[in-house]
Amino acid sequence: MLTPPKKGQYALRAVYELAKRRGQGPIKISAIAEAQAIPHRFLEVILHQLKGSGLVDAKRGYYGGYALSKPPADITVGDVLRHLQRETPPGQCVACGSQQSCPFVGRCAFSLLWQRVKNAAYEIYDSTTLQDLLDDHAPVEALKTMGAA
Amino acid sequence: MLTPPKKGQYALRAVYELAKRRGQGPIKISAIAEAQAIPHRFLEVILHQLKGSGLVDAKRGYYGGYALSKPPADITVGDVLRHLQRETPPGQCVACGSQQSCPFVGRCAFSLLWQRVKNAAYEIYDSTTLQDLLDDHAPVEALKTMGAA
DNA sequence: ATTTTCCCGACTGATATAGTCAGGATAGAC
DNA sequence: GTCTATCCTGACTATATCAGTCGGGAAAAT
């Protein structure tokens, strides 16, 4: 239900790899694909899409490749995920995705609930930077919500 | 990405309807389906599945129908949702659903993150009872995580 | 000029979800 | 006892989304 889509996972693994190699100049798609076990052609699509958000810069040609446009500490997981899914049109019911008309628009007993879950998720995403992931520990203020498996 | 599946939404709307009519004896599937705009045949499947968890009781025959087996205050959204999706096999990576083998098993930089998001979601689900939904307000201790739309 | 890389849109295939269908079982109405 | 309204049950189909591919084009270095 709330397992992130492959595309998002690939994107995060890719920028994570870029963060790890920051300072080594542009990293080729093929290098990232190999290191993170991502289909090469698919990763092309994903990184290109990410470029549109300004989180990564691309360089073409012989010594081309991708690089983060900001320090890993300034990029959050939320930044990455947000730019992959087209955001839901404002005023639209969170639950009734697509442009289907919700039969309970305005008086839905659950819309608030879905909204809260979504906010809780992005609160975590937005408070986790690539640097946090590199350091292999969760941000301090979020740890208390962890609980057991 | 984290919009709940239709099945779960239908299930919740159905038990919500049952909670609303509690005390009126068994409620027919057709009545629930009409009130909540759920395909009749599909709702049959869903309610039958829910019955397996003991949250609802069914009665057959002329005056048959469904009813909650417990007071609305004793049933949480988490209870309902948990019984709809087969739980992920233990030890399995949260992200790499199905039984696909994760190439980063054990050393995945993100598994902790996914786990935390999942936990945060179920913390909200488990602290929201049907009674809360009937009262049309969120449980107090969860309100602080709401934020803007 | 050629190679190596990213760029870009259209396309295909797999998978999970959403929903249907036909018929059987049970309980009450008559 | 028969009839009807209801839930029960599994197998089935359709659809939408996701995952991934393909072919070719454009910049940058050699």
Check whether residue A71 has its CB closer than 7 Å to nucleic acid strand D. Answer: no
Each as own residue / partner, the long-range contacts of residues A24-32 (CB below 8 Å, 24 or more positions apart, any chain) are: A25/A63, A25/A65, A25/A67, A26/A58, A26/A59, A26/A63, A26/A64, A26/A65, A26/A66, A26/A67, A27/A65, A27/A66, A27/A67, A28/A64, A28/A65, A28/A66, A29/A65, A29/A66, A31/A65, A32/A66
CB contact under 8 A, A119 and B94: no
The CATH-assigned architecture of domain B6-148 is Orthogonal Bundle (1.10)
B46-71 pLDDT, tens digit each = 999 999 999 999 999 999 999 999 99
Half-sphere exposure of B21 (CA within 13 A, CB side): 18
A41-85 pLDDT, tens digit each = 999 999 999 999 999 999 999 999 999 999 999 999 999 999 987
Residues on chain A touching B81 (C-beta within 8 angstroms) = 1
* pLDDT band at A97; cut points 50, 70, 90: low
Residues on chain B touching A142 (C-beta within 8 angstroms) = 116
Instruction: Single out the residue of A149, A114, A131 nearest to residue A2, CA to CA.
Output: A114
Instruction: List the single residue in B2, B109, B136 with the smallest CB-CB distance to A109.
Output: B136
Check whether residue B97 has its CB closer than 7 Å to nucleic acid strand C. Answer: yes
How far is it, in rounded angstroms, from Cα B2 to Cα A118?
A: 7
Question: What's residue B91's pLDDT?
Answer: 57
B135 → chain A, closest CA residue: A109
Average confidence score pLDDT of chain A:
85
Question: What's residue A101's pLDDT?
Answer: 57
Q: Is residue A122 over pLDDT 50?
A: yes
Question: What's residue A44's pLDDT?
Answer: 98
This prediction's pTM: 0.86
Domain boundaries, chain A: 6-148
Check whether residue A47 has its CB closer than 7 Å to nucleic acid strand C. Answer: yes
Greater confidence, B142 or A19?
A: A19
Stretch A108-125: mean pLDDT = 91
Greater confidence, B149 or B90?
A: B90
Q: Where are the beta strands (DSSP E) in B37-145?
A: 56-59, 65-68
Residues in chain A: 149
**Strand D, nucleotides covered by protein (CB < 7 Å):** 4-11, 16-23, 26-30
Q: What is the separation, in whole angstroms, between the first and last Cα of chain B?
A: 17
B76-129 pLDDT, tens digit each = 999 999 998 766 655 566 666 544 556 676 668 898 899 899 999 999 999 999
Greater confidence, A137 or B22?
A: B22
How far is it, in rounded angstroms, from Cα A40 to Cα A134?
A: 23
Check whether residue A10 has its CB closer than 7 Å to nucleic acid strand D. Answer: yes
Question: What's residue B108's pLDDT?
Answer: 81
How far is it, in rounded angstroms, from Cα B133 to Cα B20?
A: 10
Question: What's residue B148's pLDDT?
Answer: 40
Q: Is residue A138 over pLDDT 50?
A: no
Instruction: Single out the residue of B107, B39, B46, B149 nearest to residue A36, CA to CA.
Output: B107
CB pairs under 8 A between A and B: 111
Question: What's residue B98's pLDDT?
Answer: 45
Which residue minimizes Cα–C1' distance to C5? Answer: A61
